[in-house]
């Protein structure tokens, strides 16, 4: 494909350089958002009497056609530097030369790139937040189901105490809800509009930036020259993915045949090409790797931004595919994890074997009993129990499951104490569900604004 250009007519161009600097290999990710941003731009120009109604209607109809058939724009991108340049060429073909040549008024690629990226990020964060809410609901349901199911609790991945499976799975609910709260905050940052900022110092046109359907980024130089919103989005999903990676690690380790207190659903397990006895927890393994990759993508994004001078720099373009990959992989992982958690089971027999064979699982309880009942200072009681464990004299007898359950109830890790925590978690979950509704509503309202303005233009 030969080099095509709108902006560099009469200039010497090189296919080698064009291919190197072009963003078209990944611009398809924001094609939908680029067109929506263009529709907003046309509506605002017409509202301020900077574009006559006839040309505005032609442009609006052409852009709406691209929303319905984005492949037309994607096909036209070949040979151009980016989707924004290709859009102008497509508009000339679909709306006529006069309308297309009027379209760039009051517009820079800098503010339109930032606007499309912000809109894509807001859409993806909404999907991630809402999918995270569904995962949280699934975890809460499992915690209620396993309210009274005994389960080994580990520290340093060594058996530490006996708790309940409800308490264990619930330990992932609150951090996920906290991460979703962080994601909502980042959405609010991304939702602000850079439109009307021009290349960086604004435009001489009499455009009231408060007339755009989203709140404006206050400083036009920040609006076009910063990717803080993208960095924050990647950071927020990286935090979430790291928490999911820990749940993935639990699924991998606790389903090991020598432990096997957890049983993952069969469709999340694969086998070996050579060893048919193998049951590999493949979904959880891939999730761990993708969490690490998203963390690496955050480092890559920050590296792109580090040390850049003020204003837009083409370096920022290299962050785009990093952003797309980080948010897309997070959304996919949430969907897979909801299905994984829904099918998880606890092997009660395996848990019982651990309890019956491991007195060390109740060493803390024995030390506390000695300290309270005999008045022995805790550290002395601790050393006495440690000596019993080392000598394996059998003096430290494992507690019966019913005794363990009563103990967990008294500590709030089972029974009414855990139920109270679950009720409070339900309140937090309700807040996140309401936030999901708010984010979806904002996106819908933007679509409704565009639709109503287009109707006015072509009335």
Which DSSP state fits 29?
G
Decide if 437 is inside a domain. Answer: yes
Question: Are 43 and 177 in the same domain?
Answer: no
With respect to residue 228, please indicate whether it lies within any of the assigned structural domains. yes
* pLDDT reported for residue 352: 84
Find the DSSP H helices in 207-343: 220-225, 228-254, 282-305, 320-343
What CATH number does the domain containing 25 carry? Answer: 1.10.275.10
Q: How confident is the model over 184-235, as pLDDT tens digits? A: 999 999 999 999 999 999 899 999 899 999 999 999 999 999 999 999 999 9
- Higher-confidence residue of 420 and 2: namely 420
Q: What is the pLDDT of residue 405?
A: 60
Domain match, 73 and 132 both? no
Weakest mean pLDDT among 99-108, 380-389, 392-401: 392-401
Q: Clarify whether residues 168 and 317 are in a common domain.
A: yes
The DSSP output letter for 270 is B
The whole-number pLDDT of residue 365 equals 78
Chosen domain end from 77, 105, 133: 105
| Distance in angstroms (rounded) separating the CA atoms of residues 146 and 152 | 13
Q: Report the pLDDT value the prediction gives residue 357, as an integer from 0 to 100.
A: 67
- H-helix segments, 344-414: 348-357, 363-374, 378-391, 401-411
Quickly list DSSP for 64-86: HHHHH-THHHHHHTTTSSSHHHH
Q: Does a structural domain hold residue 6?
A: no
pLDDT for residue 1: 61
Q: Is the pLDDT of residue 366 over 90?
A: no
What pLDDT was estimated at residue 394? Answer: 47
Residues 85 and 139 in one domain: no
Q: Look at residue 158 and tell me if it is in a domain.
A: no
User: Residue 144 corresponds to which tokens in the numbers above?
Assistant: 């209620």
Instruction: Tell me, yes or no, whether 188 and 53 share the same domain.
Output: no
pLDDT of amino acid 395: 47
CB-based contact 182:236 (threshold 8 Å): yes
Write down the pLDDT at residue 279: 85
**What average pLDDT does the structure give for the chain?**
91
- The predicted pLDDT at position 27 comes to 93
- Indicate the range of 18-22, 24-28, 216-220, 409-413 predicted with least confidence: 409-413
Q: Percent of the chain beyond pLDDT 90?
A: 72
In terms of domains, do 238 and 387 share one?
no
Its domain, for residue 395, covers 354-413
What CATH number corresponds to the domain at position 231?
1.20.200.10
pLDDT score at 317: 96
Rounded alpha-carbon distances, angstroms, from residue 79 to 24, 82, 108: 9, 9, 20
pLDDT in tens, 112-136: 999 999 999 999 999 999 999 999 9
Section 360-381 average pLDDT = 84
Q: In this structure, are 438 and 400 located in the same domain? A: no
pLDDT above 90: residue 417: no
pLDDT for res 407 = 61
Q: For position 455, what pLDDT does the model report?
A: 93
Q: Which residue has the tokens 């151009």?
A: 80
Are residues 409 and 422 both part of a single domain?
A: no
Q: Domain for residue 9, yes or no?
A: no
In a domain, 213, yes or no: yes
More confident residue, 397 or 362: 362
pLDDT tens digits along 286-306: 999 999 999 999 999 999 999
Q: Tell me: the pLDDT tens digits for 387-398? A: 877 776 544 555
Whether residues 75 and 202 share a domain: the answer is: no
379 pLDDT exceeds 80?
yes
Whether 409 has a pLDDT exceeding 80, the answer reads no
The reply to whether 154 falls in a domain is no
Report how many domains make up the chain.
3
Q: Is residue 450 part of a domain?
A: no
Q: Does one domain contain both 138 and 262?
A: yes
pLDDT on residue 391: 73
Residue 271 or residue 44, greater confidence? 44
**331 in the same domain as 235:** yes
What does the pLDDT read at residue 459?
Answer: 83
Q: Across residues 169-191, what is the average pLDDT? A: 97
Asked if residue 20 and residue 81 are part of one domain, the reply reads yes
The number of beta carbons lying within 10 Å of the beta carbon of residue 230 is 28
């Amino acid at each position: 494909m030969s080099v095509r250009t709108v902006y560099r007519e009469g200039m010497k161009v090189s296919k080698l350089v064009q291919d190197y600097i072009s963003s078209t290999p990944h611009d398809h990710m924001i094609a939908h958002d680029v067109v929506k941003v263009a529709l907003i731009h046309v509506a605002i120009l017409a509202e301020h009497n900077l574009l006559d109604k006839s040309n505005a209607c032609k442009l609006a109809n052409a852009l709406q056609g691209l929303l319905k058939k984005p492949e037309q724009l994607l096909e036209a991108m070949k040979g151009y530097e980016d989707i924004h340049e290709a859009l102008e060429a497509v508009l000339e073909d679909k709306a006529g030369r006069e309308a297309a040549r009027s379209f760039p008024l009051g517009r820079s690629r800098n503010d339109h790139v930032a606007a499309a990226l912000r809109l894509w990020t807001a859409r993806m964060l909404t999907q991630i937040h809402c999918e995270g809410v569904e995962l949280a609901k699934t975890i809460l349901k499992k915690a209620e189901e396993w309210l009274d199911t005994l389960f080994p609790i580990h520290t340093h991945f060594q058996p530490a105490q006996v708790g309940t499976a409800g308490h264990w799975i619930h330990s992932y609910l609150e951090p996920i809800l906290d991460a979703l709260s962080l994601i909502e905050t980042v959405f609010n940052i991304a939702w602000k509009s850079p439109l009307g900022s021009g290349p960086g110092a604004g435009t001489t046109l009499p455009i009231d930036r408060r007339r755009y359907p989203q709140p404006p980024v206050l400083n036009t130089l920040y609006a076009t020259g910063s990717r803080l919103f993208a960095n924050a989005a990647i950071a927020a999903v990286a935090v979430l993915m790291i928490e999911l990676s820990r749940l993935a690690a639990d699924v991998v380790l606790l389903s090991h045949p020598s432990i096997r207190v957890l049983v993952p659903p069969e469709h999340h397990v694969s086998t070996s090409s050579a060893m048919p006895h193998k049951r590999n927890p493949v979904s959880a393994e891939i999730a761990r790797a993708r969490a690490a990759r998203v963390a690496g993508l955050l480092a890559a994004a920050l590296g792109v931004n580090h040390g850049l001078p003020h204003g837009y720099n083409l370096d920022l373009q290299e962050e785009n595919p990093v952003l797309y990959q980080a948010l897309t992989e997070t959304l996919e992982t949430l969907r897979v994890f909801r299905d994984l958690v829904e099918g998880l089971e606890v092997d009660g027999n395996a848990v019982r074997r651990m309890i019956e064979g491991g007195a060390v699982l109740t060493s803390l309880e024995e030390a506390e009993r000695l300290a309270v009942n005999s008045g022995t200072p805790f550290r002395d009681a601790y050393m006495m129990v440690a000596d019993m464990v080392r000598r394996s004299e059998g003096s430290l007898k494992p507690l019966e499951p019913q005794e363990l359950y009563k103990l967990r109830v008294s500590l709030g890790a089972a029974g009414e104490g855990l139920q109270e925590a679950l009720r409070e978690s339900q309140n937090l979950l309700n807040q996140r569900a309401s936030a999901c509704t708010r984010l979806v509503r904002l996106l819908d309202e933007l679509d409704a604004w565009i639709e109503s303005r287009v109707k006015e233009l072509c009335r």
